[in-house]
Structure 1
Amino acid sequence: MELRILAAPREQQALLDLPWDMSLEQWPEWYLVALPRGISRHVVRFTRLNGQVYALKEIVQSYADREYQMLRDLSRLDVPSVQAVGVVSGREAPDGTALDAILVTRHLQFSLPYRALFARMMRRETVDRLIDALVVLIARLHLSGFFWGDCSLSNTLFRRDAGAFAAYLVDAETGELHDALSNGQRAHDLDTARTNIAGEMMDLLAAGQLDESVDPVATSNQVVKRYEALWSELTEWEAFDVTERWRIARRVERLNELGFDVDELDIVTDIGGRTIRVQPKVVDPGHHSRRLLRLTGIDAQENQARRLLNDLDTYAAVTDQQGEDEEIVANAWVMDCFEPVIRNIPRELRGKLEAPEIYHEVLEHRWYDSERLGHDVGLAEAARDYAETVLRHKPDELAILGGTAADPAETQPFRISWTDLQ
């Protein structure tokens, strides 16, 4: 049996050095990186190659090939998911025993499985934010025609996003890609999510890692309620009188606030021309993150980008540059605000959170300090105090997760405000 490594040339060279003639469970520790792992029916390990961290999953070859292709398809569709790197097949032990193939994916920086997030006892409000993130992920997958087949917290990775969370699909083994999903397929995914999440929450409650005020069954039922509210906002027709055309713009604004962009509007009038029906064609999330990237070159999560853009607008007002060219103001804000804050964070602490998340937390810290002291606290002072009193005591997420300076290719998550949907 010949060893076959399906991957890009750069990854192929690095992957050749790993002990493929051993089952993944038996790999020596020096090949592995100790990272938090979710529950999986397969053996999963992490390794570092050329400064990058990769996740390895031992799986039957046909499944590995299928999931590899599925993840590549989702990447092309710009869906929040881990990046497929390759498949290693034709593995054989020294005694001639055939070994399962291994699916290789790039580990998502600063991400955590839900059990790692719950390790320190999670409050009700934080649980709600996790559920919100998962619901948005499911809706995004369904808009892309992806039937997950195994929706759960275990098959999802979460990243912090300015006080909220962004969710990424990490397991596409049972997934199917269609031109569009039927109502039955969407309902099946939701029912699966409800059942799985209830079980996962009950396990956490039994382990003492969930606040007793959290009802596992009620929490899992929220998934369906919140999904249906979001799906309605994204896809349903809205009818109104021709004199209320402002409602078209408001519909687009609501979708932008939820983190979705609108490619086109399907507008139909009745025979008399008095009633307008509108249905948005929603595509490509990441409205605020793309704007921030275009203006500043800062690659941030959607919620982080919204907060940083708000600070940019405040800076423009305070410095009396509201009539100035937007890109000129953005460049000045980066030099006067963003970069000085990051420079005021000691180098050994910068791996604890992403730079946009650090800036967001400094803004929060500055606001609370200013309120407590009764006067405005400068950004530099707030950054130094935040670094010593808050950041220094946070877990080093980048180090724990084996992150590197090079950002992996990734899709943008998005934020949702449930008050707009209820």
Structure 2
Amino acid sequence: MSGSLNITAATVEPELLDLPWDLPLDLWPTDTIALLPKGISRHLVRFANLGGSVVAIKETTDEMAKREYEMLRTLQRVDIPCVDPVAVISRRTDADGTPLRSALVTRHLKFSLPYRALFSQTLRPDTATRLVDALAVLLVRLHMVGFFWGDVSLSNTLFRRDAGAFAAYLVDAETGQLYDGGLSNGQRENDLEIARVNIAGELMDLEAGGRADEDLDPIKVSEGIVAAYRVLWKELTGSESFASSERWRISERVDRLNDLGFDIEELAIKTDESGTTVRIQPKVVDAGHHQRRLLRLTGLDAQENQARRLLNDLDSYSATVGKQDLDEEMVAHEWLMRVFEPIVRAIPKELKGKLEPAEVFHQLLDHRWYISQEQGRDVPLAEAVTSYVNNVLRHRRDEATVIDPPTGTFTMPISVIDEESDEDWRLKV
């Protein structure tokens, strides 16, 4: 390293000093680079090994790097799903003292993939719809905290598997702006239109390259984000009126939001002058209803749909062993010790990087149901675990870490299996 390097970081990362900041990013040695699938970016982005983790490094201007770093930190503080900002590297120079571009360093989100790496050969309509639905949820959450994205797209998002669906995480915040007073309807509609146009273009690009299923309609799928967004936004922020005798509708509204994965932290309830009509409107809504319940009961941190699935199995266990009337936390601890953890421990060490434990548990339950239906009997859990590990999990590629040996370029792995084809294959096991 040469010159006077400046590192701005929220936490101490001494290993940052070991990276070759005196070289342009495209000339970094292969022993530093980690091979991971990455999305399309207007800037040069590469993955690098940093101690025991992997970071994404983006070369950009000093001003944009600092601005995006602070924006990502702010979004994290308001609990928005996004990548973790690590540092801004500025005042870089090469061996001759020639200035190099500043760099933004973010931590790689384990078990996440860009949308182009979520399918093998062609993107199917159902998978595309699930991706768009996940992006709609992320966009609603961003708008609720007053964040205008300005460049909504599949390419600027990372996706994690979430019990048959996907969870979306913001990756690129350089065009975003946070407004203290919230967004106007015009700003929200602008972001929606940007999303619709960008998604249509991305899917048309796949179509032109022969990587989209012939039944996939890019326009229809892209318009789906608008429809999904409007439904969710109305449910989360809309007001409704009803007769004062129908006060049960207040609980019904809360239950609907809980089913969508949101908690109401504040609810405005007003009556008219006659007292015959009640008007309710959510004031503060927070995502992660099932995540928080699972974390409180078991200490497990999972995606929202994964948490919902695990809680359903916990409730089923409670009913099966006849312990519905016992303390919920005690039963949850017993389920964790007797059901969840033995399954996780049964996964061979060399396969633990394939999927998150909660996703493994979800897929195992699906696999057990499939083979039970196929064999016409209730397959024991231990037998289902063996079958799942040998016939399904062992054939998946890792989604957690790097692929060795490291190299400087990315080639799409031919072993990627999309959600539907994976399920179709399991049915034949």
The TM-score by the shorter chain falls in which range? over 0.9
Shift of 1:360: 0.6
Supply the distance in 1 between the matched residues of 2:276 and 2:254 (Cα, whole angstroms).
21
* Structure 2 residue matching 1:261: 3-state secondary structure: strand
Helix, strand or coil for the counterpart of 2:281? strand
Could you say which residue in structure 1 is the equivalent of 2:219? Answer: 217
Partners of 1:264 and 1:281 within 8 A in 2: yes
CA contact (8 A) 2:125 2:217 kept: no
Match of 1:88 in 2: 89
* Matched residues, number: 401
Q: So what's the TM-score if we normalise by structure 1?
A: 0.93
Instruction: Describe how 1:4-403 pairs up with structure 2 within 5 A.
Output: 4-11=6-13, 13-179=14-180, 180-400=182-402
Return the alpha-carbon distance in structure 2 between the equivalents of residues 95 and 350 of structure 1. 45
Q: Would you say the 8 A contact 1:150–1:174 is kept in 2? A: yes
CA shift, 1:327, in A, is: 1.1
Moved more, 304-313 or 94-103: 94-103
Q: Which amino acid aligns with 1:241?
A: A
Q: Which amino acid aligns with 2:29?
A: P
Cα displacement string for residues 304-324 of structure 1 (whole angstroms, at most 9, x for unaligned residues)? 010000000010111111111
Is 1:340–1:380's contact at 8 Å kept on the other side of the alignment? no
RMSD (CA atoms): 1.2
Structure 1 stretch displaced more, 157-166 or 249-258? 249-258
Report the equivalent of 1:406.
Answer: none
Q: Partner of 2:418 in structure 1?
A: none
Q: Deviations over 1:155-212 (max 9, x none)?
A: 0000000000000000000000012001111011011111111110001111121111
Q: 1: CA distance between counterparts of 2:290 and 2:403?
A: 27
Equivalent residue letter for 1:173: E
Which letter does structure 2 place at the counterpart of 1:195? V
- 1:413 is matched with which residue? none
Amino acid at match of 1:199: G
Superposed CA offset, 1:214-273 (max 9, x none): 111121111112111111111111111111111111111111111111011111111111
In 2: Cα distance, 1:235 partner to 1:8 partner: 34
Identity %: 60
Per-residue CA distance 1:39-81 (angstroms, 9 max, x = gap): 0010101111120111100000000000000000000000010
Separation in 1, partners of 2:400, 2:129: 25
Instruction: Please say if residues 118 and 209 of structure 1, whose CA atoms lie closer than 8 Å, have aligned partners that are also in contact.
Output: no
Structure 1 stretches lacking a partner, 5+ long: 403-422
Deviation digits for residues 361-405 of structure 1, max 9, x if unmatched? 111111112222222111111011110011111112124479xxx
Once the two structures are superposed, what CA deviation does each residue of 1:306-349 show, in whole Å capped at 9, x if it has no partner?
A: 00000000101111111111111111111111112122222211
Q: Distance in 1 between matches of 2:349 and 2:153?
A: 37
SS of residue matched to 1:6: strand
Distance 2:237 2:384 in 1: 43
The whole-number CA distance in structure 2 between the counterparts of 1:310 and 1:101 is: 48
For 1:249, the aligned partner's letter is: S
The letter of the residue matching 1:363 is L
Contact 2:148 2:188 in 1 (8 A): yes
Larger deviation, residues 61-70 vs 286-295: 286-295
SS class of match (1:56):
strand
Q: What's the counterpart of residue 407 of structure 2?
A: none
**Taking structure 1 as reference, are residues 280 and 8 closer, same or farther at Cα in structure 2, changes over 3 Å only?**
closer
> Which deviates further from its counterpart, 112-121 or 72-81?
112-121
The structure-2 alpha-carbon separation of the partners of 1:52 and 1:389, relative to structure 1 and needing over 3 Å to count, comes to same
Query: 390-399 or 296-305: which moved more?
Result: 390-399
User: C-alpha separation between the residues in 1 aligned to 2:10 and 2:141?
Assistant: 28
Structure 2 unpaired stretches of 5+: 405-429
CA distance in 2, matches of 1:292, 1:192: 36
Moved more, 147-156 or 273-282: 273-282
Q: Tell me, in whole angstroms, the C-alpha distance in 1 between the residues paired with 2:11 and 2:238.
A: 45
**Cα distance change, pair 341–90 in 1 and its aligned pair in 2 (3 A):** same
